[in-house]
Amino acid sequence: MPDTPFAETGVPTTEAPVTVAIDGPAGSGKSSVSKQAARVLGYGFLDTGAAYRALAWRVLEQDRDTADADAVVAALDGFDYAISLDPDDHWVRVGDTFVTDQIREPRVSAAVSGVARVPAVRERVNLLFRALVAASGAAGVIVEGRDITTVVFPDAPVRILLTASPEVRAARRSAELTGEDAAAVAEALHRRDASDSQVVDFLTAAPGVVVVDSTDLDFDRTVDAVIDVVRTATGEN
């Protein structure tokens, strides 16, 4: 884990950023929509799924199985993880290796749920997420994942559940993965959602969480809908 000013001093270096918490299932648009909304708002952007994916990547690099909780916990040892919060310069690093693209590969997607169900992993990355936001120096940070509105930042002033129908989500993910069989992509996405939803509930909005359903919205309208929620909640309208 990287040292941050927050981790070193125990106090944020700047006034606390406005935290925008966004949860939702795979393919709902969390990452792409959050990144674009962050650009427009001048905020940082934190993709929390990248940490789980990077740890899954490390377990696979060690020729071990993410279904083996002991192997996952062992991979946490020396897990030197860093991520950019700049929406215009997104990268993810483990040690000296930039893994930004590798962690999106289907083999990592297929393995990541094993990592996410280990409580020691969740505790460790949640501390890191809070430290990264506190030390960001940004006016605001959009943080997206599965349990951000409920566990990581339950008191965030803006909390959104971004949804879309299962068919639409599978079609979007399949369009990204050219060369992969569409039915296999859909099957993998639904299998991962089913596994992940045993760990956290990202299909129901917790009290106070605003639902943005993008099933019938194109990308730009979805970004606008998210920005509207942020501006309304922060009184910037």
Ligand X SMILES: Nc1ncnc2c1ncn2[C@@H]1O[C@H](COP(=O)(O)OP(=O)(O)O)[C@@H](O)[C@H]1O
Binding-site residues for ATP, in ranges, read 24-32
Task: Phi first, then psi: give them for residue 163, nearest 5 degrees.
Answer: -125, 170
Instruction: Tell me which of 29, 44, 114, 145 binds ligand X, using CB under 6 A.
Output: 29
- Structure tokens, 237: 């309208």
Q: Does 192 bind ligand CDP (CB under 6 A)?
A: yes
Is residue 117 within the footprint of ligand X (CB under 6 A)? no
By the 8 A CB rule, do 174 and 180 touch?
yes
- Binding residues for ligand CDP, total number by CB under 6 A: 16
Of 1-9, 112-120, 133-141, 203-211: span binding ligand CDP (CB under 6 A):
112-120
Name which position in 145, 158, 209, 222 contacts ligand CDP (CB under 6 A): 145
Contact 90, 100 (CB under 8 A): yes
Stretch that binds ligand CDP, among 25-33, 61-69, 72-80, 208-216 (CB under 6 A): 25-33
Beta bridge mates, 182? none
Q: Under the criterion CB under 6 A, does residue 172 sit at the interface with ligand X?
A: yes
Stretch of residues binding ligand CDP (CB under 6 A), selected from 47-55, 72-80, 177-185, 206-214: 47-55
Residue 222 found at the interface with ligand X (CB under 6 A): yes
Asked if residue 26 binds ligand CDP (CB under 6 A), the reply is yes
Alpha helix ranges (H) inside the chain? 5-9, 30-41, 49-61, 69-76, 106-116, 119-134, 166-176, 182-196, 219-234
Residues touching ligand X, count (CB under 6 A): 17
Based on the shown chain and the rule CB under 6 A, indicate whether residue 149 belongs to the binding site for ligand X.
no
Residue with tokens 């069989």: 181
Rounded Cα–Cα distance for residues 217 and 226 (Å): 12
